[in-house]
Amino acid sequence: MKEAVRIQTEDFSQDEEIAALKGRSRRMGGIGTFLGCARDFSEGRDVSEISFDAYGSMALSEMRKLREEAIAQFGLLDARIVHRIGTVQGGDNIVFIATGAEHRVAALEACRWIIDELKQRVPIWKKEVTPQGDAWVVPHP
């Protein structure tokens, strides 16, 4: 089974991630998910591709802390976080978060909290390639 928190270049399967999450507990009554996808248009410009880079060990460590904090804060049964690095095209998957709890409210609130915190705390940088040139995206939207 794949690690619950990963940074990888290849695409991921939402179905596999959800199945792994569900496999952790039969008490799970609610699963919250977030899928971040690459847009081909941003800030009024066409975007041909997006490049992601991470401070590997630090980013992974911070993502693991986010998972543990969310489990404790929201009473989750489990959570999974996967973020891609490298170059992606419009429509490609970038980040996936799945949270499982006994009830939907905790799962949904935790999912939103994780993506918001990930954007603020995890050292992953995004560069958009446009006809006007490359631009690093700061701050995190």
CA torsion angle 63 110 95 119 (round to 10): -60
Quickly list DSSP for 47-113: -SEEEEEE-HHHHHHHHHHHHHHHHHHHT-SEEEEEEE-EEE-TT-EEEEEEEEESSHHHHHHHHHH
How do residues 23-43 score in pLDDT, each as one tens digit? 999 999 999 999 999 998 887
Indicate the residue type of 23.
G
Domain boundaries, the chain: 5-131
How do residues 60-97 score in pLDDT, each as one tens digit? 999 999 999 999 999 999 999 999 999 999 999 999 99
* pTM score over 0.75: yes
Model confidence at 99: pLDDT above 80: yes
Give the whole-number percent of the chain exceeding pLDDT 90: 82
CATH 3.30.300.30 for domain 5-131, yes or no, is no
